[in-house]
Amino acid sequence: MDKHSLAQLIEISCAVGSRTDYVQAGGGNTSVKSPTGQTMAIKASGTALTAMSESAGWVEVDVATVLSIFDRNDLATMETDAREARVLQHLSSAIIGGKGRPSVETALHAMLGKVVIHTHPVAANALNCGPGFKALEAITPAGELPPLWVPYTDPGWRLADTIKSAAEAYQQSHGQLPAVLFMENHGLLVSASDAQDCVALHAEWVSRCERYFLPGLKPRRSPEALHSADLRKAMVSIRQAWREVKGRAPFARLTAGAELASVACDERADLFAAGSLTPDHIVYTGARAILAESLEELPAKLKAGLVEKAPPRVAVVRNVGTFLLADDAKKLDAAESLAVAGAGITHLASERGGAHNLAPASAAFIVNWEAEHYRSALLGTATESLAGKVAVVTGAASGLGCGLAQGLLEAGAAVAFCDVDDTGAKDAAAASAAPSRAFPVYMDVTDEDSVASAFDQVLRHWGRVDIAVCAAGIAPAYELVDMPVKSWRLALEINLTGYFLVAREAARIMRAQADGGAMIMLSSKSGLDASKANSAYNATKAGELHLMRGWALELGGDGIRVNALAPGNVFEGSKIWNPEYIKAAARKKGIKPEEVIPHYVSLTALKRDIKRSDIAAAAVFLCSDAARCITGQTLVVDSGQVMVR
């Protein structure tokens, strides 16, 4: 593909793909034809628009070969599965470059203008799922060519064939192909001669839809916040119901967004339960939503729904709220994205006659369509050692806490980055290897209410807690005769009371879940072998080890394993080893500040600088099934400085 056309494809893809009100869960499609029109680059099936680059996320096809699909008279009489397989085979034969599978819409894009954008904007789909064709007349200025209205047609070859006939008729009437297409219960499609004009045309028509719906739009009533005890009970019941059917625990979310939460308080709950609005909703949220009249009724409704071919991933509890459900965190985010869009669509359409779902036959086509199974499968199933687990890590804004959180994240866990440094936690989560599985949470480990609130936030966001890592700590370095009692007490509050409060809250949740769990107390080699001028640190780190041993005995019957890590000196990214602490260590050892780190490394048997990743690797092991018979133990990761006695 020529560089200019490819640059245009990336430009339009990023412009619309970054807007969740335009596309959801990696949906939408874009294409750009070469200057001669002989070839076309189009987004590869299942690729997120924003993930497209010069080397990935698109395929280049020969336009003439693609369009020759319309010369095949046998397709109209074929059974659906055979026809769609034949179409895919034909489109694949047209590929001349790029990587991936050609979009099912390739033929549709090939027949239109040079630059094509297909999205699912909330406002446009409020029209497509609501007043439809009659609304187009109201939003099209006098003297301007109207959009092409396309009644709902099953996507794939039938939709392309339908639009081909409609576009040809439009051209005969207006002298040119349509630049704007509204597809009933589907989306918006625009085309233009260059990237900027196409993006502008798309934005203009979405804006027209918004102006049509917004005047007089009534606010929605949101349910009252669910109390902590009720939230925890609900998440446990969801977990148990899902586990009975699927054999594993789910990810669950009680949505915090006002629009989706308000669905539980009006007639939209019944619309959600009756079916889905668009093909994308079926793929990512199921063929319908669960509707329960109470939290007590939800588990039975959930178990019944999970055996369906396209099981519900949205559960609305009347006047309580809307829950999202999925096998993993990525699918949960996708379900929420579509559910939020659906709530917006139905809200807008409610003031213009209301929205309507896909017809049962149309929904059945999507449920059984291989192309949509392919898209859903691209979300993948994680295989890392901690995949499917939810971890809470304290002190995660920096230092070893951050390193531990990152390590658990890289091992597949969804991780709550908890810290009293709210900004630091947000920055650490955003900069992580998998931001979609990193959730920053404010937590003051010395405050009982703050700890409980933080755990409730994690439960609202992911529905469960499987791992808890206590890593928040301080190390006030003073000679005994110089130590202020204030510093001593603060160390006890953070390093002991903080560990107690976090472990207690985690144990309460894990015990209620009745599915075991893992806890790690981040101690230190100083908890085993005291260091000079470190009274508070020595005492608290030793205390953490004994707390760990007692908790291991206490919680073992619940399948909850409690272990400790005793790292050596980890200088990388440490707040403890700050310039002032290093100066104090230099005075203690009678050496220069720049000699401190090499000195401590020299004390180890391996003479090896310990990195945060070394500690994280040990934590991943202790939290994994590989350590399923290990509890009440201290794993020393110090390059051989302290030998456990």
C-beta separation of 31 from 115 below 8 A:
yes
Helical segments of 175-295, H only: 195-213, 228-246, 258-261, 268-274, 279-285
Question: What's the distance, Cα to Cα, between the start and end of the chain in Å?
Answer: 67
Q: Of 244, 519, 529, 258, whose CA–CA distance to 404 is shortest?
A: 519
Bridge partners (DSSP) listed for residue 569: none
Q: Are 181 and 163 in contact (CB under 8 A)?
A: yes
Alpha-carbon distance of 615 to 600, in angstroms, equals 17
- d(CA 583, CA 605) in angstroms, rounded, equals 25
- Our measurement of the distance from residue 380's CA atom to the centroid of its chain's CA atoms, rounded to an integer in Å, reads 13
**Burial class (CB within 10 angstroms; exposed 0-12, middle 13-18, buried 19+) of 387:** middle
List, in sequence order, the alpha helices (H) in 175-216: 195-213
Sign of the C-alpha dihedral computed for residues 566, 568, 569 and 571 taken in this order: negative
Could you give the 3-state DSSP secondary structure of residue 512?
helix
146 C-beta neighbours (distance < 10 Å), count: 17
Where is 33: in which H helix or E strand? strand 29-33
Q: What residues are labeled active site?
A: 537
Pair 397, 224: CB distance under 8 Å:
no
Question: What is the length of the chain?
Answer: 645
DSSP code of residue 112: S
The alpha carbon torsion through 265, 267, 268, 270 (nearest 10 deg) reads: 110
**Cα dihedral 316, 317, 321, 325 sign:** negative
- Cα separation, 303 vs 305, in Å, equals 5
Phi, psi of 40, deg, nearest 5: -145, 135
Question: 61: which residues sit within 8 A by CB, 6+ positions away?
Answer: 39, 40, 42, 91, 94, 95, 96, 102, 106, 110
Nearest alpha-carbon partner for 11 in 58, 49, 59: 49
| Alpha carbons 490 and 477: distance in angstroms, whole number | 13
Give all strands of the β-sheet with 180-183 in edge-to-edge order: 95-98, 58-62, 39-43, 29-33, 115-119, 187-192, 180-183, 148-150
Q: How far is CA 22 from CA 149, 203, 301, 307, 436, in A?
A: 19, 9, 32, 32, 19
| Beta-strand relationship, 95-98 and 115-119 | unpaired
Cβ atoms 136, 126 nearer than 8 A: no
Contact between 229 and 285 under an 8 Å Cβ cutoff? The reply is no
